[in-house]
Amino acid sequence: MATAAASVIAPMMLQGRVAIVTGGAGGIGSAVSRHLASLGARVAVAYVGDPAPARELVASINAAAHGGDRDARAVAVEADVSDAAQVRALFDAAAAAFGGELHVLVTAAAVMDTSYPPLADTSEATYDAAFGTNARGTFLCLREAARRLARDGRGRIVTFSSSGVGSLRPGYAAYAASKAAVETMTRILARELRGTGITANAVAPGSTATPMFYGGKTAEEAERYIAEAPLGRLGMPEDIAPLVGFLASDAGGWVNAQVLRCNGGTV
């Protein structure tokens, strides 16, 4: 009988699974898309705006497909997650591309005002943008996943919160509040999905070396984050992706309704 440890390290443990990754071509999302594909999943890389990064990522994933697999391992799908019709179309496109059944949803799409205004100076536009993508976008994807993911024990939902919910840094009010909403929706949905075999968990990264993190920061400000880190460095997208892969797999099937802070000990 295979042990849980053996299943964790199995190189193709997501073979036969179909995954949707929103924000799948940027920052942490691109590392997640690559990692899930490396574990055997077929990945719909959802993006908004410039298609070039998503297309380049998909081409790279397909070129590196395991075992000389000639079928597409990944496809790029444009979708604004704050729009319900586009979210439905995203799920339709992923199902059509890979044979109809959907197994994994990862919601990595996010926006943040990198001018870091204090709450007293936060505009309605900043608040609406944060909640429109981070909270509403996740809500729409969760709703679709609850209706459409496989109910055979392989359905997995992994949302993205932020360790900023716990660190309470000034300047992050709208962003952190939108991510707190993500945590709450994820944990409630996990309970509502009782009996379906679908798990739902949130991953909450800390400061991670992505364009979003560096946006609006001086080199000195970025260094202060590093100085505060117990491990003496920023996280990398590749530090986050394996946790998502674990939660998406059978090995993570007993983890449910949790928020996992993946931050090197900063929170």
Helix (H, G, I), strand (E, B) or coil at 251: helix
Which residues are catalytically annotated? 175
Q: Is there a contact between 19 and 42 (Cβ–Cβ < 8 Å)?
A: yes
Distance CA 100, CA 221 (A): 47
The residue among 134, 136, 108 whose CA lies nearest residue 20 is 108
Q: Is there a contact between 108 and 28 (Cβ–Cβ < 8 Å)?
A: yes
Distance CA 32, CA 205 (A): 13
DSSP 105: E
Strand partners, 201: 158
Strand partners, 220: none
